[in-house]
Amino acid sequence: MTVKFDINTLQQDSLWARSVLFLRSYPILPVVIVLTLVVCGIFAPLVAPNHPLEGELENRQLPPVWLEGGSSQYLLGTDHIGRGILTRIIFGARISLTISVVVLIGGVALGTIAGLVAGYIGGILDEIVMRLVDFTFAMPFIVVALVASVVWGQSMTLMIILLVLFTWAPFARQVRAETLLLKSSDYVSLARVAGASGPRIAFRHILPGLVNTVMVLSSLQVGNLILTESVLSFLGIGLPPPAPTWGTMVSEGRQYVSTAWWLCFFPGFAIMLVVFSMNFFGDWLRDKLDPRLRQL
């Protein structure tokens, strides 16, 4: 019995197998989605086809372009006062990106310093920092945000402050745990024997060993921040209208869901897509940066 091999088929199978392995090894699609979010956020006025706040009542509730009655001027349709859905999603990406970057900078800096100092010094300072972390985790964030918005009014500044105050705690707890492990390492003991001061050991020798942990935790927090901002806007305690936030768009479109489903579907889909992509990218980054997982 003679077995014949088709070289072209084998090459195609090999190419397909390599492509699948490449896509499984690297988060190509999540990275593309995140880069699209960044580009839309930075160049929103250039990318958006319409004005995000001005609408035309004669064009209200137009369906997407591929449905009957749609217009090529509004690819994803219009809302209840004639504003383009696609344009508002693009400008909503700018708001989400701005809030996430500012909150991450503040939360990472505050949490990393607090966890590093608490873990290295220990004693009563460590106890105070950890009790503050427990207190932060125990506080109901939505209730606090609701009360704060009633007392001080809705604004981006207030939202950023609240998110920073509730974002630093995970970084502080994780950095503190890593610091407790690293400060008993051999190279830290050698630096101590060599006469290095406490601040030098903490920030010159221990802090670089925390970079991977902080990077992974930051990537995982981006999705949570975008989702939290959307929830606050949906509940009416985020940015005040007519700011084109994704949560506000979903909230405004829910009463038209039976007649104009695209008003809330596309903003909700954008939230889901970005959060899923950031979580997937964070998991991949953790697998690549964790030496214990690289050995598996």
Residue 94: inside a domain, yes or no?
yes
Residue 249: inside a domain, yes or no?
yes
* 145: containing domain: 37-294
Give me the pLDDT at residue 269, please: 92
Residue 28: inside a domain, yes or no?
no
Instruction: Specify the number of domains making up the chain.
Output: 1
Whether this prediction's pTM lies above 0.85 is answered by no
Are the C-beta atoms of 63 and 69 separated by less than 8 Å? yes
Residue 111: partners with Cβ closer than 8 Å, 6 or more residues away: 167, 168, 169, 170, 171, 172, 175
Structural tokens at position 56: 């035309």
Q: What is the dihedral of CA 214, 215, 217, 223, to 10 degrees?
A: 140
Are the C-beta atoms of 77 and 264 separated by less than 8 Å? no
Give me the pLDDT at residue 296, please: 46
| CATH number, position 148 | 1.10.3720.10
Q: Which among 215, 109, 235 has a CA at the least distance from the CA of 164?
A: 109
Half-sphere exposure of 117 (CA within 13 A, CB side): 10
* pLDDT tens-digit profile, the chain (296 residues): 444 445 555 455 566 666 666 666 677 888 888 888 888 888 888 888 888 888 888 888 888 988 888 888 888 889 888 898 999 999 999 898 889 899 999 999 999 999 999 998 888 999 999 999 999 999 888 889 889 988 888 888 888 999 999 999 999 999 999 998 888 888 888 888 888 887 888 888 888 888 888 888 888 888 888 888 888 888 888 888 788 889 889 988 888 888 888 899 999 999 999 988 888 888 888 777 765 555 44
Q: Dihedral of CA 32/27/179/200: which sign?
A: negative
Return the axis-axis angle of helices 156-182 and 141-152, rounded to nearest 10°. 140
How far is CA 269 from its chain centroid?
15
Residue 88: inside a domain, yes or no?
yes
Return d(Cα 148, Cα 166) in angstroms, integer. Answer: 14
Task: Write the DSSP assignment of 19-85 as a string of letters.
Answer: HHHHHHHS-HHHHHHHHHHHHHHHSHHHH-SS-SS---GGGTTPPPTTSTT-BTTBTT-B-TTS-BH
Residue 141: inside a domain, yes or no?
yes
Looking at this protein, which amino acid is placed at residue 234? F
Residue 52: inside a domain, yes or no?
yes
Give me the pLDDT at residue 107, please: 92
Give me the pLDDT at residue 19, please: 64
Residue 92: inside a domain, yes or no?
yes
Give me the pLDDT at residue 5, please: 45
Residue 105: inside a domain, yes or no?
yes
